[in-house]
Structure 1
């Protein structure tokens, strides 16, 4: 499987263990896996959506916890490869023996 995305990464100014990334234009495909091929594929997210990942070396800072709660953003698990694979299963493009 080929997967591509545009990523913006941010690091904490005062807390160097805080890292936030925003992934957009997440595309995947199962054919034409040559890395020199143009960027194209099926989108995992709607055009106006981004995937936010937060990494910390310890507890999430209180200000960030408040911000996430106020904006109704809650912890969840998400795998780009896993979701593309589930799409293949759902559409019957992968068959088990």
Structure 2
């Protein structure tokens, strides 16, 4: 019984966020950074940080929707959705 209780406790420690339609598990009460969200979309981002992405989100806490800028972060909420789009610099 203890194992089952421990497993349930572990499930309560993570939430699901969705990046461009793909679900990802993140720690509960976690502040997601721009770099983390972009890396979920493009796993090679850490090797190519000069690439710029537009990151928007919906179903957040407060504010419920917005834009995540480079260097920024937002508190993760279960079922939060992120939309990442590569942009070109002029």
TM-score of the pair, normalised by structure 1: 0.25
Give the structure, 1 or 2, with the largest relative contact order (CA under 8 Å, sep 6 or more). Answer: 2
- Considering fraction of residues, name the structure with more strand: 2
Normalised by the size of structure 2, how large is the TM-score?
A: 0.26
